[in-house]
Amino acid sequence: MDGTPSGDSEDWGPFGRPLFKDPSALALKRVGVVDVGSNSVRMVVFDGAARSPAYFFNEKVMAGLGTGMAATGKLNPEGRIRALKAIKRFQLLADAMGISPLTAVATAAVREAEDGPDFEREVLEQTGLKLWVIEGEEEARLSAQGVLLGWPDASGLVCDIGGSSMELAKLTEGEVGRCLSSKLGPQRLKTLKGGKKGRKIAIQAGVKELAAKIGSTGERLYLVGGSWRAIARIDMDRRGYPLTVLHEYRMTRKAMYATIEHIETSSTEELRARTGIGESRMALVPIAAQVLKELVRELKPRDIAVSSYGIREGMLYEQMPEKLRARDPLIEACRFAEDKDARMPGFGRRLYDFVLPLFKARNAPDKRLIKAACLLHDVSWRAHPDYRHEVCFDEVTRANLGGMTHRQRIFLGVALLHRYKNSRDDSPFHALFDLIDDDDLRKAEILGKAMRFGAMLTASKDSDMGDLRYYPKKALLELRLAPGTRDLFGEVAEARLAALASALGDVQVVVKGR
């Protein structure tokens, strides 16, 4: 398992009534949440298919509520002013969008500060918004649920780093287990007494204690939080990685150690210039890197995955009924896109049935990727015909879609590219093609060309498009036309069928039912 559902786990029926139209899902169609953290205050409004929501609105202010709190015991005065202004703005925006009331949580800074309760009252009096101050273990649980929004079957450890705290949560096959909280936030560590030496001792002791309590090594480590994402961005830059999508980005322990050394030996100004990381975030990155170094050394994860989903997404997941949680986020989002943007919504299911016989071998692509491609095959038709293949590839590789690794994104992108174009020789995306192997490239091309041919049969009034039969050992591709499709099989369709046969390896084509 790769943290994503298996190809056969998604229920296709009734295909014409996907769950995003269910009242329980429609209630979550547009939901606003506010996260008041030690570093930032952020508002996110989710929209679209609830199981795999898009970000209708996403804004943060680096208020720095927790700055200096380790020394004073109180919220940063300037941070209070900035945070309150941000929350006022967010509440006005929510009113204008018609999504009030917002769901708002506050974490370590407000939880621990002497004047935290006073700040809660101030927010309530001036905005009408109730802040729910959550304990560290609850913060860990919600962050883990955010990871489950993108990886429904995830297993491993979730590590969420904020400014004043760091949380760990155990995930076992999609279930949240033990949750822990610590004071290993970089904002707090920055002002720790004893300088660099004292900070190193505190980090080592804190990580060792967490590792002993969580009792897990050698599992996948899911990283949640802005400081972790900044480190991942630096890792991408150091490696020259071509797909700058942080969600589902994977790193090895060896790569992580190299990046931490790179951070330790580079100036923050140089790193900022190369990556575009904000000044206030970059100020915390070197300390966060020290924490991560100890985490990786102590937990020895088999690999490291970056999650852009965290506590805010976990708050949305918390509101989902179980039947919605159980759905595949990728398929549900693709269904939503087809229903919203395709010229003939519902055709994706027929197309899937039509192309599936080409992929019966054991080493065939994951069926869920074939499903996703068929659902998305026509959602970019509004783009200029000369650029549809590029728009398809660019959108699917960079879209906010959960439940996919980067390699799966590229596979899906190549398939959709070939839905609109035979060749990719002159493509500007060659650097991205190198992220998957030649065999997967070939399979993606076959899928794309099969969809390109199958789309020629969309005008059939018959519920049966006909069918493809593929006999690899005989090097034979057989097309059986249904009565409603016979007159659709013209010159262009014949040329597209020949292109599909060529992609399969110059197999013989037999057409029956003309």
What is the structure's pLDDT at 13?
Answer: 46
* Same domain for 488 and 356: yes
* Same domain for 223 and 276: yes
CATH code (residue 72): 3.30.420.40
State residue 46 phi and psi, 5-degree precision. -90, 145
Question: 275: which residues sit within 8 A by CB, 6+ positions away?
Answer: 230, 233, 234, 237
Domain that holds residue 56: 29-133
Q: How far apart are CA 335 and CA 10, in angstroms?
A: 12
Neighbours of 195 (CB within 10 A): 8
Residue 180, domain member (yes or no)? yes
Residues β-bridged to residue 287: none
- Checking if the pLDDT of 27 tops 80, the result is no
Residues β-bridged to residue 55: 46
Contact 369, 334 (CB under 8 A): no
What is the structure's pLDDT at 49?
Answer: 67
Residue 9, domain member (yes or no)? no
DSSP state of 349: H
* Same domain for 251 and 186: yes
Residue 246, domain member (yes or no)? yes
Residue 23, domain member (yes or no)? no
Q: Indicate the pLDDT class of residue 281, thresholds 50, 70 and 90.
A: very high
Concatenating the DSSP letter of every residue in 107-135 gives -HHHHH-TTHHHHHHHHHHHH-PPEEE--
Residue 229, domain member (yes or no)? yes
Question: How do 156-161 and 166-172 pair as beta strands?
Answer: antiparallel
Contact 81, 128 (CB under 8 A): no
Q: What is the pLDDT of residues 53-95, one digit of tens each?
A: 788 999 999 999 999 998 899 999 999 999 999 999 999 999 9
Q: How far apart are CA 289 and CA 16, in angstroms?
A: 48
Last residue of a domain, one of 312, 339, 361: 312
State residue 470 phi and psi, 5-degree precision. -120, 125
464 or 170, greater pLDDT: 170
* Same domain for 123 and 141: no
Average pLDDT along the chain:
90
Last residue of a domain, one of 84, 109, 133: 133
Contact 52, 401 (CB under 8 A): yes
3-state secondary structure 318-347: HCCCHHHHCCCHHHHHHHHHHHHHCCCCCH
Total structural domains within the chain: 3
* Same domain for 490 and 458: yes
Residue 242: asked if its preceding bond is cis (omega within 30°), the reply is: no
Q: What is the pLDDT of residues 144-181, one digit of tens each?
A: 999 999 898 899 999 999 989 999 999 998 899 999 99
Contact 452, 506 (CB under 8 A): no
Last residue of a domain, one of 260, 286, 312: 312
Residue 319, domain member (yes or no)? no
459 or 90, greater pLDDT: 90
What is the structure's pLDDT at 326?
Answer: 85
CATH code (residue 210): 3.30.420.150
Q: How far apart are CA 127 and CA 371, in angstroms?
A: 45
CATH code (residue 508): 1.10.3210.10
* Same domain for 441 and 418: yes
* Burial 173-192, CB ≥16 within 10 A → b, else e: ebebebbbbbbbbbbbbbeb
Contact 51, 19 (CB under 8 A): yes
* Same domain for 489 and 441: yes
Q: How far apart are the first and last CA of the chain?
A: 44
11 or 44, greater pLDDT: 44
Q: How far apart are CA 442 and CA 58, in angstroms?
A: 38
Contact 109, 69 (CB under 8 A): yes
* Same domain for 239 and 210: yes
DSSP state of 153: T
Q: Indicate the pLDDT class of residue 30, thresholds 50, 70 and 90.
A: confident
Q: In what order do the strands lie in the sheet with 508-512?
A: 467-471, 476-480, 508-512
> Could you tell me how far CA 285 lies from the centroid of its own chain?
22
What is the structure's pLDDT at 272?
Answer: 96
- Checking if the pLDDT of 258 tops 50, the result is yes
* Same domain for 286 and 230: yes
Q: Where are the beta strands (DSSP E) in 420-507?
A: 467-471, 476-480
* Same domain for 368 and 295: no
- Checking if the pLDDT of 265 tops 70, the result is yes
Residue 17, domain member (yes or no)? no
* Same domain for 254 and 402: no
Cα dihedral value 211, 215, 218, 219, nearest 10: -100
- Read off the pTM: 0.89
* Same domain for 284 and 410: no
Q: How far apart are CA 259 and CA 256, in angstroms?
A: 5
Residue 10, domain member (yes or no)? no
Q: Which class for 265: exposed (0-12), middle (13-18), buried (19 or more C-beta within 10 A)?
A: exposed
